[in-house]
C-alpha cells in the first residue's frame, strides 16, 4: 500500500483485471478440453475434433490476452509512467499483438485481410 487511496485503488483494479485474464485462459482451456473429450467420446456425434479444441483454446487465450494487455496499459499509464515502463509496455503489447494475430490466423485458417475464402 502506498498511502494514496486512489493509487491503491488503481493497483487493486490492475490486479483484478490480471486475475480475470488468467481466469479466462484457465477456464477456457478447461472448457475446451471438456468439449473435446465429450465430442471425442466413442458414439459422440460431434465432428470438431482437434480443430475444435484448437479453436476453442485459441479463443480463450485471445480473450485472456486482451484482459492482460488492458491491465498492463492501466498499470503503465496510471501507476508508473516512466520512459522505461512505457518501453517495456510497448514490447509486451508488440509480443501479445503478434500472439493474438497468430492465434487469429490459426483459428480462422486464413489471413484477416483474405475475406474471399
Nearest of 4, 2, 61 to residue 31 by alpha carbon = 61
Domain span at 19: 5-108
The answer to whether position 28 is within a domain reads yes
- Number of domains present in the structure of the chain: 1
The answer to whether position 92 is within a domain reads yes
pTM of the model: 0.76
Torsion angle of C-alpha atoms 55, 56, 57, 60, degrees rounded to 10: 120
Task: Dump pLDDT digits (tens) for 16-54.
Answer: 999 999 999 999 999 999 988 887 776 666 666 777 888
- Measured CA to CA, the distance from residue 57 to residue 21 in angstroms comes to 14
Task: Dump pLDDT digits (tens) for 43-87.
Answer: 666 666 777 888 888 889 889 988 998 998 888 888 777 888 888
The answer to whether position 27 is within a domain reads yes
The answer to whether position 114 is within a domain reads no
- Measured CA to CA, the distance from residue 67 to residue 32 in angstroms comes to 19
The answer to whether position 21 is within a domain reads yes
The answer to whether position 85 is within a domain reads yes
The answer to whether position 116 is within a domain reads no
Nearest of 83, 67, 59, 52 to residue 22 by alpha carbon = 67
The answer to whether position 14 is within a domain reads yes
Amino acid at each position: 500500500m502506498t498511502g494514496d487511496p486512489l493509487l491503491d485503488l488503481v493497483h487493486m483494479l490492475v490486479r483484478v483485471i490480471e486475475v480475470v485474464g488468467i481466469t479466462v485462459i484457465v477456464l477456457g482451456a478447461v472448457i475446451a478440453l471438456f468439449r473435446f473429450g465429450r465430442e471425442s467420446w466413442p458414439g459422440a456425434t460431434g465432428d470438431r475434433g482437434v480443430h475444435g479444441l484448437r479453436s476453442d483454446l485459441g479463443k480463450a487465450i485471445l480473450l485472456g490476452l486482451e484482459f492482460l494487455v488492458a491491465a498492463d496499459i492501466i498499470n503503465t499509464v496510471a501507476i508508473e509512467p516512466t520512459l522505461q515502463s512505457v518501453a517495456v509496455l510497448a514490447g509486451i503489447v508488440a509480443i501479445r499483438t503478434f500472439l493474438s494475430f497468430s492465434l487469429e490466423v490459426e483459428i480462422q485458417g486464413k489471413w484477416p485481410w483474405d475475406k474471399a475464402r
